[in-house]
Chain A
Amino acid sequence: MAMTQAEVLAGLSEIIDEIAGVPADEVTPDKTFVDDLDIDSLSMVEIAVAAQDKFGVEIPDDQLKDLKTVQDVINYIERASVTA
Chain B
Amino acid sequence: MVNASTRVVITGVGVITPVGADAPTTWQSMLAGHSGVRALTADWAARMPCQIAAPAAAEPTTLIDRVQARKLDRCEMFALIAAREAWADAGKPDVDPAKLGVVVASGIGGISSTLSAYDTLRERGWQRLSPFTVPMLMPNGSAGWISIELGAQAGVHTPVSACASGAEAIGYGIDMIKSGRADIVVAGGTEAAIFELNVAAFAAMRALSLRNDEPERASRPFDKNRDGFVLGEGAGILVLESESHAASRSARVYAVAAGAGYSCDAHHIAQPAPDGAGARAAISRALVNAGVSASQIAHVNAHATSTPAGDVLEARAIAAALGEAAANVVVSSTKSMTGHLLGGAGAVESVAAILALRDRMAPPTINLDDPEDDLGVEIAVKPTELQSHGPEPMAVLNNSFGFGGSNVAIVFTEP
Binding site for B on A (CB under 8 A): 19-21, 42-43, 45-46, 49
Q: Do B130 and A46 have beta carbons less than 8 Å apart?
A: yes
Interface SS of chain B: helix, strand, loop or mixed?
loop
Q: Do B131 and A42 have beta carbons less than 8 Å apart?
A: yes
Q: Do B132 and A19 have beta carbons less than 8 Å apart?
A: no
Partner of B131, one of A20, A21, A46: A46
13 pairs, A vs B, C-beta closer than 8 Å: A19-B67, A19-B70, A20-B67, A21-B65, A21-B67, A42-B131, A42-B132, A43-B131, A45-B131, A46-B130, A46-B131, A46-B132, A49-B127
Q: Identify the closest chain A residue to B127 (Cβ).
A: A49
Query: Which residues from 100 to 143 on chain B have a C-beta closer than 8 Å to any C-beta of chain A?
Result: 127-128, 130-132
Q: Do B66 and A49 have beta carbons less than 8 Å apart?
A: no
Contact with A along B62-76 (1 / 0, CB 8 A): 000111001000000
- How many residue pairs link A and B with beta carbons under 8 A? The number is 15
Number of interface residues of B (CB under 8 A): 9
Min CB–CB distance A70 → chain B (angstroms): 18
Q: Known pairs A19-B70, A42-B132. 8 more at Cβ < 8 A?
A: A19-B67, A21-B65, A21-B66, A21-B67, A42-B131, A46-B131, A46-B132, A49-B127
Determine the distance from Cα of A20 to Cα of B131 in the docked complex, in whole angstroms. 13
B131: chain A residues at CB < 8 Å are 42-43, 45-46
Determine the distance from Cα of A20 to Cα of B70 in the docked complex, in whole angstroms. 9
A45: chain B residues at CB < 8 Å are 131
A19: chain B residues at CB < 8 Å are 67, 70
B132: chain A residues at CB < 8 Å are 42, 46
Q: Do B128 and A49 have beta carbons less than 8 Å apart?
A: yes
A43: chain B residues at CB < 8 Å are 131
Determine the distance from Cα of A46 to Cα of B136 in the docked complex, in whole angstroms. 15
B65: chain A residues at CB < 8 Å are 21
A46: chain B residues at CB < 8 Å are 130-132
